[in-house]
Chain A
């Protein structure tokens, strides 16, 4: 079945470490997105990519980095510059077509905790 796989489900980071969250999709979607969700809060956009080798900052990109070397993969790195990284991270994808509008398909998320 097609879908989005996020790994790991739980991740622990020590102070000063960089960590990378994985997001892989086999839906042949062009666009991919990373969101952060804090407890009881809505979704805030970190980065997004509409095509391979291109990506744009979202609303809260500081302290994060991404790459998009393959259509299927959009990893997110949480750097040591991110002062409050403890949160739930959601990856999503969507077809990218100016002639149509689609909703997003979401992964199951990664819970990152700073220890």
Chain B
């Protein structure tokens, strides 16, 4: 079964600095998708970024980018120029085809002013 592991339960960063959240996963598939979701204090789940496994280029959305290492089964999220509004729980997720999304346990990110 596919699993997703986030080894950092909590992270903190100074405002305006860069932080990287780690995620590893286990799968025997070759063509799948990976996602990062953000859950702010409102608890609304928001899609931050997604990556198709067949694409070698790392996905980027404004200040958010990923480092996708397919052979290592690693999918880290980099947040540049951290802002107070970035404070949230961040969940890494994996999906193969039409199967269910598999979530990691989450990383709580705190932004220090």
Question: Which of B15-23, B40-48, B64-72, B73-81 lies at the interface with chain A?
Answer: B40-48
**Does A108 belong to the interface (CB within 8 Å)?**
yes
B103 pairs with A101, CB closer than 8 A: no
Among A31, A40, A43, A98, find the residue whose CB has the most chain B CB atoms closer than 10 A. Answer: A43
**Does B91 belong to the interface (CB within 8 Å)?**
yes
Cβ-neighbour of A101 out of B33, B37, B104 (below 8 A)? B33
Contacts of B100 in A (CB 8 A): 33, 45, 48, 58
Contacts of A101 in B (CB 8 A): 32-33, 52, 95-98
Give chain A's interface residue range (CB within 8 Å of chain B).
20 to 34
With A103-B47, A108-B43 as given contacts, are A42 and B97 in contact (CB-CB < 8 Å)?
Answer: no
In the complex, residue of chain B having the shortest beta-carbon distance to the beta carbon of A90: B45
**Does A104 belong to the interface (CB within 8 Å)?**
yes
B104 pairs with A42, CB closer than 8 A: yes
B97 pairs with A98, CB closer than 8 A: yes
In the complex, residue of chain A having the shortest beta-carbon distance to the beta carbon of B99: A101
Q: How far is the CA of A94 from the CA of B47 in the complex (A)?
A: 13
**Does A97 belong to the interface (CB within 8 Å)?**
yes
A31 pairs with B98, CB closer than 8 A: yes
Contacts of B93 in A (CB 8 A): 103
Q: Nearest chain A CB to B75's CB is how many angstroms away?
A: 14
Q: How far is the CA of A96 from the CA of B98 in the complex (A)?
A: 6
B103 pairs with A42, CB closer than 8 A: yes
* Binary contact readout B14-40 vs A (1 if CB under 8 angstroms, 0 otherwise): 000000000000000000110101000
